[in-house]
Homo-oligomer: A and B are copies of this chain.
Amino acid sequence: MKKLLATATLLLSLNLFSQTWEDSIQFNRISTEILNKGKAYNELRDLTKNIGHRLSGSVAYEKSVKWAEQKLKEAGADKVWLQEVMIPVWERGKESLHIKSGNGKWTKLKMLSLGNSEGTKGKDVSGEIIMVKSFAEYEKLSSDQVKDKIVFFNYPFSQSYIETFKGYSDASAYRSTAAMLTAEKGGKFAIVRSLSSAFDDVPHTGGMRYKDGTAKIPAVAIGNTTADELESLLKSNKITAKLNSNCGMKGEKLSHSVIGEITGKKDQSVIVVGGHLDSWDVGEGAHDDGAGIVQSIEVLRTFKNLNIKNNHTIRVVCFANEENGVKGGQQYGKTVKEKAEKHLFALESDAGGFSPRGIALEMDDAKRNQIKSWSPLFLPYGAYDFEGRYSGTDIYPLKDMGIPTAELAPDSQRYFDIHHTEEDTFEKVNRRELLLGATVMTQMIYMIDKNW
């Protein structure tokens, strides 16, 4: 009996060893294929240079829908379709922000209205600026002090976190709630210091929200240098700001997420890999999230090119409207529920096309530990961190349905220098970094497909 057990153990470990060996060979094939023949970088050039930024609701977004459909077909998807989704439409229009002190001249500031913000309907709205450094400071102000004023929320992006997403999370409530807080005390509009890790004058847009029952007043962002200068001016001067903007919500519109898949050979349960096709209306949406789109398409192409027989259906989803509504993600989740489509796993790439450092996991401990047991296979590709416990915004509806979800975790140092700005361009993306991200994504989908 003992001998039998020993033999069984030996056979088991030989089998484990041979599995690991086979997997490491496959990991290498995937990496060699993508680093040498990957098309993600050239496709990203095409998307960013020939279509450019593509806010949902825009003509450019509709072009990108056709583009993604075509690219998924070229990559070898068995089936490609558009998923209808009603999306909110927001438009920026012309906008300007000026300041003056005392009887001085008006000085124009670089600025961007925040996404989903209402504007001034083309009229000048002006008032004295009062500055606060934090919510705590703002809470101390009475409505009398804020009434008819412009509130400048001057909360800096913390440089101290190693992962810049923590600095972003820390400061993001200022962007999302500045307008509603200002409105609650009768202010005219809000200015926020951009959520930026760079010491430059680039304003960062991004989503904000209103609260029922409070006035929908404008909110705008200014870059770090302008914020520093304004802070310095306010130390010894009364400053008046004047905003003229035309942005605002323009109802709803029918649009589409784009989906392509290769059918499972064993069953049709679904493994999702995706990113969001829309972007803000500045720059080129290269890292956010053109990168995630072309990487996800690369996963599918690599399965086809290497002739890997996928057990389950591998489905690329290019989600609509992540930036200002997440309607694409919500619609996808709703459809999965309605059709009772079995989903095994969903992986999103929406943190930039930088060198991968790991994959964040949002799932039960048994599954998490199984994935972590594969980490030695990923280490040679620079992916060592499987400790993150979050996943992409578009796949939260799937997570809420109990489906294991995950997100590619690339190096985060450069992301918030350019996130939601004119600077998020193709030139900021490095070919090898982008392809290495696609490599790690493909390797993870391969392991899930094989083992789940």
A200 to chain B, nearest CB (A): 10
A58 to chain B, nearest CB (A): 30
Using Cβ atoms and an 8 Å threshold, which residues of chain B touch A363?
A: none
Interface centre among A35, A159, A197, A380 (most CB of B within 10 A): A159
- Report if A413 contacts B (CB, 8 A): yes
Residue of B160, B357, B382, B430 touching A32 (CB-CB under 8 A) = B160
Interface residues of A in 399-452 (CB under 8 A from B): 411, 413-414, 417, 430-433, 436
Do A164 and B35 touch (CB < 8 A)?
A: no
- Report if A31 contacts B (CB, 8 A): yes
Given contacts A35-B159, A159-B35, A355-B355, contact A432 B384 (CB under 8 A): no
| A-side interface size class | 20 to 34
Do B432 and A197 touch (CB < 8 A)?
A: yes
- Report if A198 contacts B (CB, 8 A): yes
Interface centre among A36, A414, A417, A431 (most CB of B within 10 A): A431
Contact with B along A184-213 (1 / 0, CB 8 A): 000000000000011100000000000000
Given contacts A197-B432, A198-B431, contact A162 B413 (CB under 8 A): no
Copies in the complex: 2
Q: Across the two chains, which residue of chain B brings its CB closest to A384? A: B384
A199-B432 Cα distance, complex, nearest whole Å: 11
Using Cβ atoms and an 8 Å threshold, which residues of chain B touch A413?
A: 355, 430, 432-433, 436
A414 to chain B, nearest CB (A): 5
Given contacts A355-B411, A355-B413, A436-B413, contact A382 B431 (CB under 8 A): no
Residue of B160, B384, B417 touching A430 (CB-CB under 8 A) = B417
- Report if A303 contacts B (CB, 8 A): no
Do A414 and B436 touch (CB < 8 A)?
A: no
Using Cβ atoms and an 8 Å threshold, which residues of chain B touch A160?
A: 31-32, 35-36
Q: Across the two chains, which residue of chain B brings its CB closest to A436? A: B413
- Report if A381 contacts B (CB, 8 A): yes
Contact with B along A361-380 (1 / 0, CB 8 A): 00000000000000000001
9 contacting pairs across A/B (C-beta < 8 A): A31-B162, A36-B159, A36-B160, A159-B432, A199-B431, A355-B413, A382-B411, A413-B432, A414-B433
9 shortest interchain CB distances as A-B pairs: A413-B432, A35-B159, A413-B433, A32-B160, A355-B411, A384-B384, A414-B430, A36-B159, A355-B413
